[in-house]
């Protein structure tokens, strides 16, 4: 029973990792662009939720109505007026710029909020659970996070395969030069993709704030978890990203069940094993 509960908790934790990874996967899928500051943007969204809750007194979950929208606007502006200038055949400039952004964001957050660890309390929702029989129960907050991850990825899939914006994004992903020759503005397309990814980052940041402690220096670890989930699932495959998050979450909880000190290491080992056996991930991106 303990092992079954451990696996269930790992699956639910995988939902949070999938939210961390979905935005990263989307940006790579469209622009072939890895954002080194991705984890710091997640932490920024978590602090945004903290500001919303402390200034308005609303329940932390209601910050989902504000923070993702704000992150979407910031993502659009940042891509439109800064990151687009770094894109090209050379992969180094965007890596260097986002690395610099990571350092700047961490120091700004440190200056504004100090190094103290923060966490948003969600009241009764934090301890509420749902019995599923056999002496097992599922926490409502982890279940909400997992359901949100499934919903977010489902909505992204609908956008990609059922809307004109999605068709343009997929075409740009397949062949940027041809799309440009057809009259599309790649700069705007990239900005729309980043705005969409940033909305997901905002959702992930709010759930990070209510699920665990965070501080200005926790961004790189969130980036690592997101990167591992993306690689395990397959680059550019959103549903694969969900599976990658689950694999990572289950590996961590199983490692913690054996020895608490093995939790993070077990996730890294699972990532390494998948990378060796399936270098393209479990579900490489499918053209569509």
How far apart are the C-alpha atoms of 168 and 32, rounded to whole Å? 15
Beta-carbon contacts of residue 79 (< 8 Å; ≥ 6 apart): 190, 191, 193, 194, 195
In three-state secondary structure terms, 139 is strand
pLDDT of residue 32 exceeding 80: no
Question: What is the CATH T-level fold of the domain 2-120+138-277, as seen in this structure?
Answer: ABC transporter involved in vitamin B12 uptake, BtuC (1.10.3470)
Q: Which residues contact 77 (CB under 8 A, 6 or more apart)?
A: none
Rounded to 5 degrees, φ, ψ at 83 are -70, -30
Position 286 scores a pLDDT of: 53
Looking at residues 22-32, what average pLDDT do you find?
84
Residue of higher predicted confidence among 172 and 198? 198
Give the residue extent of every domain in the chain: 2-120+138-277
Task: Report pTM.
Answer: 0.93
pLDDT digits (tens, 9 = 90+) for 205-228: 999 999 999 999 999 999 999 999
Question: How many other β-carbons are positioned within 10 Å of the β-carbon of residue 66?
Answer: 18
Secondary structure of residue 53 in the 3-state scheme: helix
List the structure tokens of 235. Answer: 């680059």
Q: Which of the listed ranges 131-140, 160-169, 266-275 does the model predict with the highest average pLDDT?
A: 266-275
Distance (Å, rounded) from C-alpha 197 to C-alpha 283?
Answer: 20
| Angle, CA 151 vertex, CA 242 and CA 15 arms, to 5° | 35
Is the pLDDT score of 1 beyond 70? Answer: no
pLDDT digits (tens, 9 = 90+) for 82-125: 988 888 777 788 899 999 999 999 999 999 999 999 999 888 88
Q: Which tens digits make up the pLDDT trace of 127-163?
A: 888 888 777 888 899 999 999 999 999 999 999 888 8
Residue 205 φ then ψ, to 5° = -65, -40
Average pLDDT over the chain reads: 90
pLDDT confidence of residue 146: 96
């Amino acid at each position: 029973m303990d092992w079954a509960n451990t696996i269930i908790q790992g699956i639910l934790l995988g939902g949070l990792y999938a939210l961390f990874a979905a935005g990263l996967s989307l940006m790579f899928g469209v622009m072939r662009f890895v954002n080194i500051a991705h984890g710091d943007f997640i932490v920024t969204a978590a602090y945004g939720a903290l500001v919303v809750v402390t200034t308005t007194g609303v329940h932390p979950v209601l910050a989902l109505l504000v923070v993702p929208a704000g992150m979407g606007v910031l993502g659009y502006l940042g891509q439109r007026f800064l990151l687009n200038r770094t894109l090209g055949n050379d992969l180094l400039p965007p890596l260097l710029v986002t690395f610099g952004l990571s350092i700047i964001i961490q120091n700004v957050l440190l200056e504004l909020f100090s190094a103290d660890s923060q966490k948003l309390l969600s009241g009764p929702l934090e301890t509420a659970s749902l019995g599923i029989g056999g002496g097992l129960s599922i926490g409502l907050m982890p279940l909400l996070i997992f359901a949100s991850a499934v919903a977010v990825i489902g909505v992204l899939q609908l956008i990609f395969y059922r809307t004109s914006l999605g068709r343009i994004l997929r075409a740009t992903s397949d062949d940027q030069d041809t799309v440009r020759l057809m009259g599309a503005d790649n700069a705007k397309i990239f900005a729309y993709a980043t705005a969409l990814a940033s909305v997901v980052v905002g959702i992930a940041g709010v759930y990070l704030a209510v699920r665990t402690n965070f501080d200005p220096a926790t961004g790189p670890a969130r980036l690592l978890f997101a990167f591992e989930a993306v690689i395990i699932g397959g680059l550019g495959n959103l549903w694969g990203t969900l599976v990658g998050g689950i694999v990572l979450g289950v590996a961590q909880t199983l490692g913690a069940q054996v020895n608490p000190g093995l939790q993070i290491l077990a996730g890294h080992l699972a990532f390494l094993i998948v990378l060796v056996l399936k270098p393209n991930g479990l579900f490489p991106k499918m053209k569509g």
